[in-house]
Amino acid sequence: MIFLSGLSLMSMFLLLPHDVKADNITATGVNCKTNSGIPGVSNSACVDQSYTIVNGSPLDPLYKTNLSGTAPGFLPTPAGPSGAFWVAQKGDVQFGDPVNDWRVTFVTPAGTGNITVTGTMAAEGSVAVALNGFGNFGGPQSLTQLGNFSVTVAAGTTNTLDFIFTGCISYPSCSSSNEPVFGLLVDPSWSLALPGAPLDTIPESVLFADAGIAPNSAVPEPASLLLLGAGLLGVLGTARLKTLV
């Protein structure tokens, strides 16, 4: 009995560190510093210290900003479990490089193994999520409600979490009103991956090349269309023969 109780206590000790709030990853806009701000740009006096721009135009800092009430309408801030704020490049709408890659770095204990990062986010258009260079497509996101994301990969000690997006619903034309909107609101956390959970294996370079938008697998290739057409003709021919008989 004493031995079993000891095993139970040891198991609890091993599990508890991975269930507490310390496993949260910094949310957007909650870790920033005051500076002189940008002349003529409101809410630009707070630079996010956790999220950086890996790719975008220009490579400016990300500023905490309250985009609520700005056309075409945004999720009120703070939002999410940790009270995340929007971050943006010098404001809510920026024109430039169409593909953005915004990154946050966090630390896990050595030898942690596979981890799953989950959370909520809001943005304009589709967003892809990559963890330590691999990830998946998060699908279309909204400016006015929180969406969910999840990605599972092997952890290091220092880990990078990337959000790849264009700020456009109609990419690559970006022709709709108020596009692109390079604003992002993210509230993530990590935990040990469940036993047997499949790892996400899409390379970050592929997610970036596709601008964070999942390829439309519903569109058949030309060869598939030919096979489908031949099959339909066969079915129609059989049905006609049965009718004649």
Q: Per-residue confidence at 243, pLDDT binned at 50, 70, 90?
A: very low
Sheet containing strand 134-141, edge to edge, reads 51-55, 100-107, 158-165, 125-131, 134-141, 202-203
Question: If you average pLDDT over every residue of the chain, what do you get?
Answer: 78
Percent of the chain with pLDDT over 70: 69
User: How far apart are alpha carbons 186 and 84 in whole angstroms?
Assistant: 6
Please check the confidence at residue 24 and state whether its pLDDT lies above 50: yes
The 10s digit of each residue's pLDDT in 81-103 is 888 999 888 754 444 567 999 99
Closest CA to 151 of 100, 115, 125: 115
Calculate the dihedral angle through the C-alpha atoms of 88, 147, 106, 99, rounding to the nearest 10 degrees: -50
What number is the average pLDDT over the span 27-56? 74
**Residue 48, C-beta contacts closer than 8 angstroms, at least 6 positions apart:** 28, 29, 31, 32, 61, 62, 63, 64, 87
From the options 2.60.40, 2.60.120, 1.25.40, 3.40.50, give the CATH code of 21-209. Answer: 2.60.120
Please check the confidence at residue 55 and state whether its pLDDT lies above 80: yes
The 10s digit of each residue's pLDDT in 171-216 is 888 877 778 888 899 999 999 999 999 999 999 999 999 999 999 7
What number is the average pLDDT over the span 53-76? 80
Q: Which residue has the higher pLDDT, 118 or 30?
A: 118
pLDDT score at 174: 83
Indicate the domain borders of the chain.
Answer: 21-209, 221-245
User: How far apart are alpha carbons 229 and 29 in whole angstroms?
Assistant: 53
Please check the confidence at residue 2 and state whether its pLDDT lies above 60: no
Residue type, 2: I
pLDDT score at 17: 42
Name the β-bridge partners of 128.
137, 164
Max mean pLDDT among 28-37, 80-89, 116-125, 217-226 falls in: 116-125
The 10s digit of each residue's pLDDT in 32-45 is 866 545 555 555 56
158 to each of 106, 108, 140, 161, 199, how far by Cα in Å? Answer: 6, 7, 29, 10, 18
pLDDT score at 42: 53
Please check the confidence at residue 138 and state whether its pLDDT lies above 80: yes
